[in-house]
Amino acid sequence: MRMKVTSIQPTNIFLRLWTYQAERFPLVGHGILIAAFSFSALSFSMLLRGEAVWPGGKTVLVAFVTALLFFLQLRLADEFKDFDEDARYRPYRPVPRGLVTLRELGLVGALAAVLQLGLALWLEPGLVPLLVVVWGYLALMSKEFFVPDWLKSRPVTYMWTHMLIVPFIDFYTTACDWFVAGATIPHVGLAWFLIVSFFNGIVIELGRKIRAPGDEEAGVETYTALWGRRKAVLAWLAAMSLTAASAWLAAREIGFATPVGILLTILLSLAILIAVRFLAVPETRRAKRIELMSGVWTLFMYLSIGTIPLLHRLLFA
């Protein structure tokens, strides 16, 4: 649903930024998912190393805040990339309607980078080169790898090149454990967790851009508009299946494959039911369930291959 465009904006920059986050980067909703993502990444890395202790508070704080700021920077980069299209097709969004300016958002992004750098130096200065690598890929994304027209004409290539940022973020987050613990390279099993992150990023991306016919907007390239409802929904289910398979293989590395297999089978069955119901009656509330299911899937999938196995090891080993 489009928001009503208004010219009356709060004058206080903090109030304006607070309104911006509520609309474009809800801290509570994103924070819960990113907390599960970052804590499970640390837990998985520890389990691969044979450690079964609760991660230190300093490590947890640095991993979570840095990851949260990475995803915020991704949102801010989108504001710059999409400004012309938003001004033309989506004037109700915060930047086109004048709630915040690109200059102000650029300042927020720069302050986030300063905080990330400070956190890296506080935890382990050797993390800084890895931080710079993530920033570098994010910068390339913000410039559409200098081939914007070529990418936009190839939606699948556009999607996977942009989703690669998630494993980059995940690699840095896990490095807050294995690198700080003294390893120069991570355990080979970490590769499965990175693959999980990649495919799960696709699940989120597809899920938020599957819409009912009445919710399609001019200038907004949803996957239902690009591919049709059936293909878009099948792509979403395929991405979930690949995520589930990767998560099972990751869980096998830490001896937790059976519980993860059972949980993800239940969740995937629920996703199939939601997809079938949407295809039968493609209305707004059923499309929203696909987006909601993507979030629920993400939360429980990450918890099942990181946090829950660590808790199990601590309580029953």
Using pLDDT thresholds of 50, 70 and 90, give the confidence band for residue 9. low
Query: Per-residue pLDDT for 1 more than 80?
Result: no
Separation of alpha carbons 313 and 53, rounded Å: 9
The pLDDT of residue 4:
46
Which DSSP string corresponds to 193-258? HHHHHHHHHHHHHHHHT---GGG--TT---HHHHH-HHHHHHHHHHHHHHHHHHHHHHHHHTT-HH
> For the whole prediction, is pTM greater than 0.75?
yes
Encoded tokens for 274: 């939601």
244: closest CA among 220, 229, 263, 217? Answer: 263
Question: Would you give the end-to-end CA distance of the chain in angstroms?
Answer: 50
Residue range 277-303: mean pLDDT, rounded: 96
- CATH of span 11-184: 1.10.357.140
pLDDT digits (tens, 9 = 90+) for 73-105: 999 999 999 898 889 988 999 999 999 999 999
Q: How many residues does the chain have?
A: 317
Domain residue extents for the chain: 11-184, 188-317
Query: Per-residue pLDDT for 5 more than 60?
Result: no
Class of 188-317 in CATH: mainly alpha
pLDDT digits (tens, 9 = 90+) for 207-228: 999 999 999 988 788 999 999 9
| Tokens 């102000």, residue located | 104
